[in-house]
Amino acid sequence: MHVTQRRNEGLGLALVSAFAFGGSGVAAKPLIESGLDPLHVVWMRVAGAALILLPIALRHRELPRRRPGLILGFGLLGITGCQALYFVAISRIPVGVAILVEFLGPALLLGWVRFVQRRPVSRSAALGVVLAIAGMAAVVEIWSGLAFDPLGLLLAFGAACCQVAYFVLADDGAESADAPEPIAVIAYGLLVGTAVLSVVARPWNIDWAIVWQQSALGEREVPAVLLVAWIVLVSTVVAYLAGVLAVRRLTPQIAGVVATLEAIVGTVLAWVLLDEHLGAAQVVGGALVLAGAFTAQTASRAKPAATPDPLPEPDLADA
């Protein structure tokens, strides 16, 4: 394949991944407001995606034996932690605010690199952290004593911390000759997440009648089952697969930078579809957060030793 064509395809796939991840919160919130527990929505997302990716897990049966720590850590933190904390957060605060808080992840990752791994970071990386923190102060309007539910903000911050774990675990052994296939790690992470959430969320208590009713998406009524299908098929399966393919056609750092569009997509969709308007301070703060995330992401890739290369995505998402 021609280099230019390969790069263009990679950019297209990275954009698809960012848009797919960005739509998860907007689809999940109407389900939560219809009466479903946030953890039940997370369980449906993770379990549905795990079922679809089960053939990939079966093709890599040896992976849990070879890398049990990676699989458990990725499933507990990179998958379950990110998604569960984010979905519970959006039940208490606007989607746009939650996803912007979660995008403190790249800045927090530099803190891990500097203080835990004791590796130097560049001045531009430090500038990215400062921008992100300043922007977050504006998003939550810290001068007014926090404009949003403190517990919701804390949960979103927890999702950002899990995003750091996602980055760190995704890079585990990436340089070795026997590095596991990223999509296989994701498949097994989803299986671990399903097992853990089955204990925590108790899916046998799900009110399935709600899934077959209508849910309010802003001023519109849409079938709840379509929102569930979107979360599982688009915001999880398509998002992860497109992201992995994007990395293979680009580089992890370029795909990661494109992934910052996820926050913009999530915020704009929540504004348009859920009528969750952000004030001028939140808009300016959000721009600073994304500028900081972008700066931290690109600066941290300037030297390979500075920080791990992530799988595309984050988020959190999960967003």
pLDDT in tens, 216-250: 998 889 999 999 999 999 999 998 888 777 766 76
Q: Are 210 and 97 in contact (CB under 8 A)?
A: no
What does the pLDDT read at residue 171? 60
Residue with tokens 């750092």: 253
What does the pLDDT read at residue 303? 46
Q: How do residues 35-76 score in pLDDT, each as one tens digit?
A: 999 999 999 999 999 999 999 999 999 999 988 998 999 899
Whole-Å CA distances, 216 to 32, 34, 83, 244, 305: 10, 8, 22, 33, 48
Strand extents, DSSP E, the chain: 214-217, 220-223
For the chain, residues with pLDDT lower than 70 are 1-3, 106-107, 142-147, 167, 170-178, 247-248, 250-260, 296-319
> In 3D, which of 152, 129, 130, 131 has the Cα closest to residue 140?
152
> pTM of the prediction?
0.81
Distance CA 47, CA 53 (A): 10
Distance CA 319, CA 296 (A): 20
Strand extents, DSSP E, 8-49: none
Q: SS3 of 87, please?
A: helix
> Looking at the DSSP assignment, which residues form a beta bridge with residue 221?
216
Distance CA 79, CA 259 (A): 17
What does the pLDDT read at residue 129? 73
Q: What are phi and psi of 149, to 5 degrees?
A: -55, 120
Residue type for position 259: A
What does the pLDDT read at residue 315? 46
Q: Are 75 and 202 in contact (CB under 8 A)?
A: no
